[in-house]
Amino acid sequence: MRLEIENLHINADEKEIVKGVSLKIGEGELHVLMGPNGSGKSTLAKAVMGHPLLSVTSGDIRIDGKSIRNARPDERARLGLFLEFQNPAEIEGLGIISFLNTARGSLGNSMHFRDFMKEVKERSAGLALKEELIGRSLNHGFSGGEKKKVEVLQMAVLKPKIAILDEPDSGLDVDSVRVIAENINRLRKETSMGILLITHYSRILNYMEPGFIHVMKDGRIVKEGGRELIKEIEERGYSE
């Protein structure tokens, strides 16, 4: 599957936040979107998933050439799009298992419940998530790191075709960053998932092999290139 974002302009509360961004993410590709706080990365991610409070004022979002600009978020999810939130919601009373089970059902995964549970447990173990945790309400009272791991667990179970990961490394300790990176890498090996990884730290990239780096500043992509850009940013920051 191929995701194309073309000259996208996005408003939040009448204010233009994203000012003409174009990106193409093909099958199996790992793209990294970097940039300082407030540059519009999360706004872009949420709008691509169809966030109801953001308005796309011009440009287009296409999946395999077909516009999804007017599609609802659940329709986008059914097409194979997935968003990991920078700040995952806590939903008391919604069990993680029940949530994952409903989600995979809506996406057409008809695996037997027993096999599904086996996969959930195996993936949780791979993420070093305590087994007791997956029996609890979604993110309720979870630490920042646990929430991020649960997002990756969702991705692992739902196996989207294109995943947008909004700072999967933020607020994580060093070991957890590595674990998250390894789990993302494993999914990349197992599937032909295309990934847009948003981050402003380069640490997670020490464990990954991104093919494309895009730098966003004040609503625009200001620089693009390969791995060499990471080093440049590390040494000189975003100001140049």
Ligand X SMILES: Nc1ncnc2c1ncn2[C@@H]1O[C@H](COP(=O)(O)OP(=O)(O)O)[C@@H](O)[C@H]1O
Could you list the residues that contact Mg ion (CB under 5 A)? Answer: 41-42, 86
Using CB under 6 A, which of 5, 23, 31, 42 touches ligand X? Answer: 42
Q: Contact at 8 Å (CB) between 226 and 214? A: no
Which among ligand X, Mg ion, none contacts residue 194 (Cβ within 5 to 8 A by kind)? Answer: none
CB of 232 to Mg ion, least distance (A): 21
Radius of gyration for the chain, computed over Cα atoms and rounded to the nearest angstrom: 17
* Gap between the Cα atoms of 4 and 66, Å rounded: 9
Using CB under 6 A, which of 4, 6, 9, 12 touches ligand X? Answer: 12
Q: Does 41 bind ligand X (CB under 6 A)?
A: yes
The helix/strand/coil state of 89 is: coil
**Sheet with 162-166, side-by-side order of all strands:** 81-84, 162-166, 194-198, 30-34, 212-217, 220-225
If binding means CB under 6 A, how many residues of this protein chain bind ligand X? 12
Q: What residue ranges in 64-181 does DSSP mark as E strands? A: 66-67, 81-84, 91-95, 137-138, 162-166
> Taking contact as CB under 6 A, which single stretch among the options 39-47, 72-80, 94-102, 223-231 is the one that binds ligand X?
39-47
Using CB under 6 A, which of 38, 105, 211, 226 touches ligand X? Answer: 38
Residue closer to ligand X by CB (options 19, 159) is: 19
Q: Which positions touch ligand X (CB under 6 A)? A: 12-13, 15, 17, 35, 37-43
